Structures are given as structure tokens and as C-alpha cells.
């Protein structure tokens, strides 16, 4: 495994073959960051919905050669020497979005309310997006190679998935799809209930 200059580097990676695009990771993120409204546009992880068969989520990889850090004209972005996690100096950040343009992974954004750059900070080592993903499509990895392998494996599975869906539609045998949909709905409902409890507990504190 390639060595990293950040000895404790880990980041959230997605398996697109499992991701359904439900967006619960986005809501979990905003709730954890104490947003007044659970608006996915404020999330530090973002879901990209390509097709019913291919969806994925993007989060900061804490790159060793972080182009966002180099691009910032205000020197408002710095990285932890141990983990590579991005830290935003809010007083210096002007919201110019040069960092957004420089990022190759689409993983940094400008908060629509504060006008400051935001990126994943791993929730102090226990990312809530990973915890609440109903399909267990998110996990922590240590290298770009691991993340890219999961993505490429999902791409290789696409033709078989398309063929399976085509055969189901042609035969009009909806039972397998309905069974899968019901199973996913139950998983989503379970995670939503857990998130709602988390919100209620926060309000009581």
C-alpha cells in the first residue's frame, strides 16, 4: 500500500454499486453540524444522482497535493499535519470559490449562508454520513487507490445490472423490484427514525 505523508489520513469513500442516492448522508451531515435547517445544500458530503443504477457521494479526500489549498489567494485553507483534514480560517476566507474550482473531486463548497468554504472534517473521527447510510455504501479508506478501486468495480457491474433490469421490465415480473424497494424503504425508515431521535435529543439539551 502506498505510504502517505499524512500518517493518519483517512477519508469517506463511496461504493456506487450500493449507493441509492437517498441523500440521508447529506441530512445526517447538516444535523451533526448544527445547521438550523437540515438542508442538503449545506452538507459537506454531496450526492450525485446519475441514473437509477448509478449514484455516488462526494466528500473531501484530504489530498496530499491539495490543489484547493494552493489555489486559495487568501491562504485561508490549511491541512492537519497528521490527518490532512482541511481547516478553514474563516476570517481570511472571502468565499471567492477558487478552491471549489481547483478541487478535482467536487468535494469542497461555499456555504450559501456564511459565504465561507466548507469541507468534510470527519466528525472528529466518527463521520455521521457513514453511520447513517442505510445501504452501508460509505466507509473510511486510507488511500486514493482504495477509493478508485471501489468506484471502478461499481462501473464494471453496470452492464450486468442494466441487463437484469431490462429483462425484468420485458418480462413484467415486478416482484423482485418491489421486494428490493420495500427492503430499501425499511432501511431508510430505520435511519430516518434514528436521525429524528438525534434531532429531538439535541433540542432537549
Q: Using an 8 Å Cβ cutoff, are 44 and 59 in contact?
A: yes
Supply 32's cell numbers: 451533526
Whether residue 1 is predicted with pLDDT greater than 50 in this model: the reply is no
Residue 92 pLDDT: 97
Q: What is the DSSP string of 54-108?
A: EEEEE-----TT-HHHHH-TT--EEE-TTT--EEE-TTT-----HHHHH-SSS--
Q: What is the dihedral of CA 195, 49, 163, 155, to 10 degrees?
A: -100
- DSSP β-bridge partners for residue 51: 54
Whether residue 43 is predicted with pLDDT greater than 90 in this model: the reply is yes
Q: Shortest CA distance to 27 belongs to which of 14, 17, 37?
A: 37
Mean residue pLDDT of the chain comes to 91
**Of 176 and 71, the one with more pLDDT:** 71
| Confidence label for 3 from pLDDT (cuts 50, 70 and 90) | low
Angle among Cα 104, 117, 201 to the nearest 5 degrees reads 115
CA atoms within 13 A on the CB side of 75: 0
Helices 175-204 and 24-32: crossing angle in degrees, nearest 10, is 10
- Residue 125 region by backbone torsions, left for phi larger than 0, else alpha for psi between -120 and 50, else beta: left
Residue 37 pLDDT: 63
**Chain-centre distance of CA 50, in angstroms?**
15
pLDDT tens sequence across 117-168: 999 999 999 999 999 999 999 999 999 999 999 999 999 999 998 898 889 8
Mean pLDDT over 95-111 rounds to 95
pTM for this prediction: 0.87
List of residues 6+ apart from 104 with CB closer than 8 A: 63, 67
Residue 36 pLDDT: 60
**Chain-centre distance of CA 6, in angstroms?**
21
pLDDT tens sequence across 180-203: 889 999 999 999 999 988 888 877
Whether residue 2 is predicted with pLDDT greater than 70 in this model: the reply is no
Amino acid at each position: 500500500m502506498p505510504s502517505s505523508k499524512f500518517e493518519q489520513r483517512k477519508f469517506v469513500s463511496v461504493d456506487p454499486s450500493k449507493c441509492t442516492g437517498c441523500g440521508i448522508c447529506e441530512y445526517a451531515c447538516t444535523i451533526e453540524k448544527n445547521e438550523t435547517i437540515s438542508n442538503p445544500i449545506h452538507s459537506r458530503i454531496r450526492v450525485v444522482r446519475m441514473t437509477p443504477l448509478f449514484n455516488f457521494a462526494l466528500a473531501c479526500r484530504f489530498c496530499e497535493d491539495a490543489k484547493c489549498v494552493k489555489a486559495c489567494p487568501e491562504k485561508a485553507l490549511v491541512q492537519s499535519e497528521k490527518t490532512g483534514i482541511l481547516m478553514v480560517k474563516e476570517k481570511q476566507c472571502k468565499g471567492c470559490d477558487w478552491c471549489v474550482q481547483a478541487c478535482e473531486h467536487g468535494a469542497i463548497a461555499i456555504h450559501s449562508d456564511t459565504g465561507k468554504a466548507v469541507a468534510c472534517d470527519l466528525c472528529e473521527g466518527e463521520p455521521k454520513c457513514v453511520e447513517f447510510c442505510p445501504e452501508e455504501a460509505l466507509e473510511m479508506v486510507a488511500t486514493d487507490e482504495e477509493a478508485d478501486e471501489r468506484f471502478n468495480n461499481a462501473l464494471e457491474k453496470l452492464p450486468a445490472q442494466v441487463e437484469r433490469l431490462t429483462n425484468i421490465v420485458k418480462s413484467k415480473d415486478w416482484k423482485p423490484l418491489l421486494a428490493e424497494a420495500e427492503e430499501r424503504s425499511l432501511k431508510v425508515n430505520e435511519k430516518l427514525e434514528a436521525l429524528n431521535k438525534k434531532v429531538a435529543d439535541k433540542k432537549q439539551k
